[in-house]
Amino acid sequence: MKYRIAPSKISGTVCAPPSKSETHREMILSALSSGTSVLHNPLISYDTEATLSGIQALGAVVSQDGDTLRISGGNLHAADTCIDCKNSGTTLRLLAGVAARLSGTTRFTGDSSLMHRPMQPLLSALESCGAGVSVEGDCISVTGPVTSGAAKIRGDVSSQFVSSLLLAGISVRLTTPLVSAPYADMTVSSLVKRGVPAAKTGDRFSVPRAAHPSPREVFIGGDWTSAAYLLTLGALCGTVTVTGLNPGSLQGDVRITSILRSFGADVSFSGNQVTVSKTPLSRCSLNLSDTPDIFPAAAVLAARAEGISRIYGVSQQIYKESNRLSEVSSLLSVMGAKTALQQDCFAVEGGKLRGAEFFVPDDHRLFMAAVLAGLCAEETTEIDASNAAYDEVYAVSYPDFLRDVRLLGGNIE
């Protein structure tokens, strides 16, 4: 697909989509629970559909009625067919931990982007606990059950490795500082809410080997990561109100409001809604090691802020759906901004952005950032996403993204 984006005046209110990270975890924990769980307002997107298909292949029974999912679990088994995780790293990594609990071999595959993302630290940790693992071409096999309940793993690549081990019933000791720590904390919290006494103490995460989660009824909250792109749009182009957001959420990207204020945007709260309005933006320095998914949005903000902004904690961006350091730099450079990478710091000299033509690889967050940049540029921008695996690359995490941006006044053809 190709898109033509014109500079736009933005104004209005939209509801945040359901949380992708919460939906993944609650789907998987429901499958592990003996009984039926009810999930209200889950996110149905390409990524979460991959998880839903995965737990069904492992034996969970799923039914859907409108915005409600009923998932009956507890009688899981190794999958009879290869589980296609599509483009979802969360699906692949978390279900690998589930597979390690089960007797037999489960095979996983995915698209070319996914199969080049890091997995070896997780596979090595599972193997150290007695699981059999193998990688052949675009297929990863995990054979369980594990025989040990403790593993060491590095924390500087992905917190999903920790979450996967906890779902496998394996306690974890980190050998390096943990990035994206709020997501591991979310897994711990979700386990505790289902009766599993998981805990985090310093560089250690503990979980009982024999514990099984209990079924529960869950309402999935709004997604702060997706909302971050909408709120950033308000700071760039007008005024945006996003409803359905819990200010006390464990999602790390709740921090977007403080980031926007650091750049000088006007941010206000009213109950479960957040409003952001455009004001003159100025440089700031921030560390995104715990909130990597909002890096593309923050980089566009920096490109429109006066002065040189510095974004630290970006080294893991090379492990995402694309090399986001390289791709974001290319996007901003072709639109007239100056960028530089200095070790773990991405520097952006802000000012005006000019319209340009830009090719977007298979990366939903990068696409959304390109839309933001186009809407606040001085001329028309053309985005070419024709080589993406999906016709609507943003539907990996936010199927209604373009609809909502257009409702707010975005001129996108």
Specify burial of residue 358 (Cβ count, 10 A radius: 0-12, 13-18, 19+).
buried
Which one-letter amino acid corresponds to residue 74? G
Q: Which of 153, 95, 157, 108 is nearest to 134 (CA)?
A: 108
Q: Which of 300, 299, 304 is nearest to 282 (CA)?
A: 304
Cβ neighbours, 10 Å, residue 197: 11
Q: Which residues are designated catalytic? A: 293
Name the DSSP letter for residue 103. B
DSSP E strand boundaries for 46-197: 61-65, 68-73, 83-84, 104-109, 132-136, 139-144, 150-153, 171-174
What is the torsion angle, in degrees rounded to the nearest 10, for the CA atoms of residue 101, residue 120, residue 109 and residue 60? 20
Whole-angstrom Cα distance, residue 287 to residue 310? 8
Task: Classify strands 411-412 and 61-65 as parallel, antiparallel or unpaired.
Answer: unpaired
Run of H or E including 314: none
Q: Which of 413, 266, 293 is nearest to 363 (CA)?
A: 293
The answer to whether the beta carbons of residues 24 and 167 sit under 8 Å apart is: no
β-bridge partners, 345: 312, 342
- Give the dihedral sign, CA 371/377/380/385: negative
The answer to whether the beta carbons of residues 54 and 85 sit under 8 Å apart is: yes
Cβ neighbours, 10 Å, residue 34: 12
Q: Which of 134, 250, 133 is nearest to 186 (CA)?
A: 250
Task: Classify strands 204-206 and 199-201 as parallel, antiparallel or unpaired.
Answer: antiparallel
Whole-angstrom Cα distance, residue 160 to residue 150? 16
